[in-house]
Structure 1
Amino acid sequence: MGVIERVGTRPTSRKVARQDLPVTLPLDTLLQGDCIAIMRSLPAASIDMIFADPPYNLQLGGDLFRPEGGRVDAVDNDWDQFDSYGAYDAFCREWLAEARRILKPDGTLWVIGSYHNIFRVGALMQDQGFWILNDIVWRKANPMPNFKGTRFTNAHETLIWASQGEKAKYTFNYRAMKTLNDELQMRSDWVLPICAGQERLKRGGTKAHPTQKPEALLYRVLLACTNKGDVVLDPFFGTGTTGAVARRLGRRWIGIEREDDYCEVARERIAAALPLDESAIATMQSPRSQPRVAFGTLVETGMIKPGAVLRDAKNRWQASVRADGSLSHGDQTGTIHKLGATLQGAPSCNGWTFWHIEHEGTVKPIDALRQLYLLATEP
């Protein structure tokens, strides 16, 4: 993975001059420097999708402590500090203008934020001419409590998905999303856990990044709105979640990040992300039925990885898991339920108990992993 030398810094005024940067598209590369300056160097209409996790401008006042006295590891980094709302708005106008320029006519923009900034960013997006397609509520299955007891627990963040205009074409893999959600239309409220356990990257015992996003979130976004080989740009790359998921799903990526520590972590992380094989990346276009938890949820959260092999209890058939949660057996594809029924010549099949997987040294029904997921994500 190549890395361009540091380019500029973000001055307090957030005014960034044009720089002499490469004009070719630096695919699968982390570019270190100021996001606006680097975005200005990229060719117009060259990016299929942008996922942006900009500074939230939290405006936190003072430290926050847990009931037992421990300090909460909140966002107090200098990259999240702006002198005023006006300064933050000016910064957002600049990067949004570049986002609009470098997106293809059929490209889309995703922006994630909290109540501190998402409404301001959304209005600025509309001012720039973007057309909002959806606002997605990411409801955190395991949010941080409100320790002071002075407000409702802040248990969600908002994502805005927008096209280049009201009449613009855009990619939406509707069938893949329906498959991922066990043949129910994917709704605009997504219940996914925040980073925890092994996924939470740490350096010296502390979080490598205070707002690391879960890979499951990016997995769903990229599977929904890009195709194999599409170019995804993340102008606020952080520790590289977008790049790691893009590499797994066979998408090309470009990351922009100015902080040395985050760049180091991102490079290590993406180098370790193993791409899926062709059959696992393929997605299906057929229905499935609805259990309490979608099989696709286990796939996108990494409990069952694309490419994993499932077998029935008597080891008569085996099937490979694909990226959208569908299964393949030879030239046959289907959901855990439909493919199980087809192979048995039966009218129906409960795929949760029919299919088995090796997990921690033993073979067990995939329903056992569903129960583990429920236990791990219950409030």
Structure 2
Amino acid sequence: MSWQLFQQDALTWLANQSADQYDALVTDPPYSSGGLHAGTRTADSANSKYLNNPGKYPEFSGENRDQHSYMLWSALWLTEAYRALKPGSPFLVFTDWRQLAVMIDAVQAAGFTYRGCVPWDKTEACRPAKGRFRQQAEFILWGSKGAWHDKDGPTYPGIIRCGVMAGGPKLHTTGKPVPLMDALVQVCPAGTVLDPFTGSGTTGVAALRAGRRFVGCEREEAYYEIASERLSKAA
């Protein structure tokens, strides 16, 4: 089978994975950021923090950690992911400007070699704010478990410009566009891409389109069903 998806908490699931079995980690964990006021920042409700019309997408939890607990939690699941990856495997982990420093610390605390940060330019259509800079970018931290796996491949772009709705409508509150994920998975070696925060399944779709296998985990039942359907079609 070219893909597998499990409905379970990511940290619990990763702790039960065998060592040295996956070839790449590509994932978009909850950011636990956003919200204009303390009440919304600490609410365990993604839609109320990120959208003007709550109810548009199924909810997902895990959005109410402060930065200290978020860094601890991130180091825990990243350590388990590190163990489950083969030596030389690349990692690509999404974050935003609020959690950028925290996630840089967490990937290194887990044992990864941190090699850089690729900005995702979401274009000028994203969050205009008069008198201020646009919050126009999110970030993909990248690196590897030990030595980088490829010394002879192509040079990939250091900034990826892609609208949030490119490739079709979003199916998740914080879903990433398929063309963005298509570009990112090109650095993954042949084999199996791991995503413990599968969401609506876009990473898996991109991995399958690129000829890789995919194994993921998604806690929320609604998104597990959405991702399963998308992966079946992509396969």
- Shorter-chain TM-score bucket reads 0.7 to 0.9
1:72 aligned to which of 52, 59, 70: 52
Q: Which residue of 2 aligns with 1:190?
A: 160
1:158 aligned to which of 134, 139, 158: 139
Q: Which residue of 1 aligns with 2:45?
A: none
Aligned residues of 1:172 and 1:225 also touching (Cα < 8 A) = no
Q: Does 1:38 align with 2:23?
A: no
How far apart, in 2, do the equivalents of 1:270 and 1:233 lie?
A: 14
Note closer, same or farther for the CA distance 1:150–1:78 as it changes in structure 2 (3 Å cut).
farther
Q: CA deviation at 1:145?
A: 2.5
How far apart, in 2, do the equivalents of 1:247 and 1:78 lie?
A: 25
Note closer, same or farther for the CA distance 1:139–1:80 as it changes in structure 2 (3 Å cut).
same
How far apart, in 2, do the equivalents of 1:173 and 1:238 lie?
A: 33
Structure 1 residues 40-81: Cα deviation after superposition (integer angstroms, max 9, x where no partner):
111101110011211111141358xxxxxxx72589955242
How far apart, in 2, do the equivalents of 1:150 and 1:79 lie?
A: 33
Task: Structure 2: state its 5+ residue gaps.
Answer: 41-50
Q: CA deviation at 1:132?
A: 1.6
SS of the residue corresponding to residue 106 of structure 1 reads coil
Note closer, same or farther for the CA distance 1:173–1:214 as it changes in structure 2 (3 Å cut).
farther
Aligned-residue Cα RMSD (Å) equals 2.4
Q: How do residues 1-379 of structure 1 correspond to structure 2 at under 5 angstroms?
A: 28-61=3-36, 72-73=52-53, 77=59, 79-147=61-129, 149=130, 151-165=132-146, 168-171=147-150, 174-175=153-154, 185-196=155-166, 199-201=168-170, 208-227=171-190, 230-273=191-234
Partner amino acid for 1:272? K
Structure 1 residues 136-173: Cα deviation after superposition (integer angstroms, max 9, x where no partner):
111113542235x36311111111111123xx241367
Aligned residues of 1:192 and 1:216 also touching (Cα < 8 A) = yes
Partner amino acid for 1:141? T
Q: CA deviation at 1:28?
A: 1.2
How far apart, in 2, do the equivalents of 1:233 and 1:249 lie?
A: 14
Partner amino acid for 1:127? A
Q: CA deviation at 1:32?
A: 0.4
SS of the residue corresponding to residue 23 of structure 2 reads strand
Structure 1 residues 173-209: Cα deviation after superposition (integer angstroms, max 9, x where no partner):
733xxxxxxxxx533111122125x6214xxxxxx31
Note closer, same or farther for the CA distance 1:60–1:246 as it changes in structure 2 (3 Å cut).
same
Q: After TM superposition, which residue ranges in structure 1, 4 or more long, deviate above 3 angstroms?
A: 73-78
Structure 1 residues 8-43: Cα deviation after superposition (integer angstroms, max 9, x where no partner):
xxxxxxxxxxxxxxxxxxx61110010011111111
How far apart, in 2, do the equivalents of 1:173 and 1:211 lie?
A: 34
Note closer, same or farther for the CA distance 1:173–1:266 as it changes in structure 2 (3 Å cut).
farther
Partner amino acid for 2:5? L
Aligned residues of 1:45 and 1:101 also touching (Cα < 8 A) = yes
Aligned residues of 1:57 and 1:116 also touching (Cα < 8 A) = no
- Please report the TM-score for the alignment, with normalisation by the length of structure 2: 0.84
- Please report the TM-score for the alignment, with normalisation by the length of structure 1: 0.54
How far apart, in 2, do the equivalents of 1:54 and 1:104 lie?
A: 21
SS of the residue corresponding to residue 89 of structure 2 reads strand
Aligned residues of 1:73 and 1:210 also touching (Cα < 8 A) = no
Q: Which residue of 2 aligns with 1:374?
A: none
Note closer, same or farther for the CA distance 1:266–1:103 as it changes in structure 2 (3 Å cut).
same
SS of the residue corresponding to residue 141 of structure 2 reads strand
SS of the residue corresponding to residue 123 of structure 1 reads helix
Calculate percent identity across the aligned residue pairs: 29
Q: Which residue of 1 aligns with 2:43?
A: none
Aligned residues of 1:107 and 1:171 also touching (Cα < 8 A) = no
Aligned residues of 2:23 and 2:85 also touching (Cα < 8 A) = yes
Q: CA deviation at 1:97?
A: 0.7
How far apart, in 1, do the equivalents of 2:134 and 2:120 lie?
A: 14
How far apart, in 1, do the equivalents of 2:20 and 2:122 lie?
A: 34
Aligned residues of 1:60 and 1:76 also touching (Cα < 8 A) = no
Q: CA deviation at 1:118?
A: 2.2
Structure 1 residues 198-224: Cα deviation after superposition (integer angstroms, max 9, x where no partner):
6214xxxxxx31111111121112122
